[in-house]
Amino acid sequence: MIVVGAGPAGAVAATLLARAGARVRLIDRARFPRDKLCGDTMNPGTLAALRRLGMAGPIEARGLRVDGMVVTGERGVRVVCRYPRDLYGRALVRRELDAALVEQALAAGARFEPQTTVRRAIVGQGRSPRVAGVVVGVYGSEREMRSRVVIAADGRHSTLTFGLGLARHPARPRRWAVGAYFDNVSGLTAFGEMHVRRGRYIGVALVPGGLANVCLVKPWDLAAGDIPLRDAQAALRRELTRDDALAERFARARLTVPPVVLGPLAVEVDQTAPDGLLLAGDAAGFIDPMTGDGLRFAVCGAELAARSALQALDQGWDGVHQRLAALRRREFAAKWRFNRTLRSLVASPPAVLAAGAVASVAPSVLRRMVGFAGDCGFTD
């Protein structure tokens, strides 16, 4: 089998397939370890999934404990939300997380080929076209890699899904993310932070090494030339400086690396992929998950894709995509709806103010929402 993309989804899928006895080639265009824009936190549900798969050991050892979320809103609203039942997540930069997961794929028997760029899928001819492998580029030349099963786990800008016409950026929402690491940020704790403002939100998290991961997500008016790529550092600093809850805490903070810009964030993907191809992680669709549950989508989605791949090898492709789509809906549909509702709330100034008012008088409502956002119901 071929797994394209060695992020969490690809590494988990490759590990599970190799453990099941499949011959697996894990391909990624990057050289590992490599940096990746992310919130760098995994919620209790993600950690529980990795434990269940026997893959949490390195993350538990290297990551910082995350006990819950501090959520702030307009007009001074601030609620501390501890995860229920003494549950916790972990914070670990993606450079370390992804490398730890790839190491486990190798230990399981997968073959890893970094710095290998997938150019396109190999699609067989006939009434029902089938993916039969991928064409990769290495050092200026191309070669074919053929396989009965290809798992696309190559992220939001998946070469395979966009190349096959399965993926597209929707007209709305059109949000961009600007992420960076700062040192000398005051007031960091074992709680992640979500600062929800009208039309935008800012996530802050303490990561190993005493740094703060800061991620700003908001729409930019591209038609008016308001593009964060032009001066991402100034855009991020401007938002921090004008924020009452963050300005003083970042007054003496220093950027450790240039900011990274990603967008537009949302990607819609047609789940009826051709036979021979399965989707996992962000390649299966991406919404800007302000609840921080993107990694659970990756881990659990990879498990479902691996299970479907083994089924296709054993029984053929009849009904595989339909069953996988049904499994994904059962696993993720409630969180998809929850995330869409939160995004709509942030986009509506009156809704942000109303939510802040509710949180200030009934903080237990927000605490229950944080427990749901943390996938705390998936830890038993």
CATH of the domain at 199: 3.30.9.100
pLDDT at residue 223, rounded to an integer? 57
pLDDT at residue 263, rounded to an integer? 82
User: Checking DSSP bridges between strand 131-138 and strand 211-219, what pairing results, if any?
Assistant: unpaired
C-alpha–C-alpha distance, residues 296 and 111, integer Å: 24
pLDDT at residue 356, rounded to an integer? 72
For residues 294 and 339, the answer to whether their CB atoms sit within 8 Å is no
For residues 253 and 234, the answer to whether their CB atoms sit within 8 Å is no
The range of the structural domain enclosing residue 271 comes to 2-39+93-170+266-344
Quick: pLDDT tens for 238-280. 999 999 999 999 999 999 989 998 888 888 998 778 999 999 9
Q: Which residues of the chain have pLDDT under 50?
A: none
Q: Is the pTM here over 0.85, yes or no?
A: yes
Residues 150 and 272 occupy one common structural domain? yes
Closest CA to 370 of 295, 293, 299: 293
Q: What angle do CA 295, 377, 325 make, to 5 degrees?
A: 55
pLDDT at residue 139, rounded to an integer? 78
Residues 257 and 308 occupy one common structural domain? no
For residues 104 and 15, the answer to whether their CB atoms sit within 8 Å is yes
pLDDT at residue 319, rounded to an integer? 93
pLDDT at residue 337, rounded to an integer? 85
| CATH number, residue 104 | 3.50.50.60
Residues 154 and 250 occupy one common structural domain? no
Residues 237 and 164 occupy one common structural domain? no
Total structural domains within the chain:
2
pLDDT at residue 280, rounded to an integer? 96
- Which of 235, 264, 293 is the endpoint of a domain? 264
The pair of structure tokens assigned to 301 is 């989605």
Within a domain: residue 188? yes
Residues 153 and 227 occupy one common structural domain? no
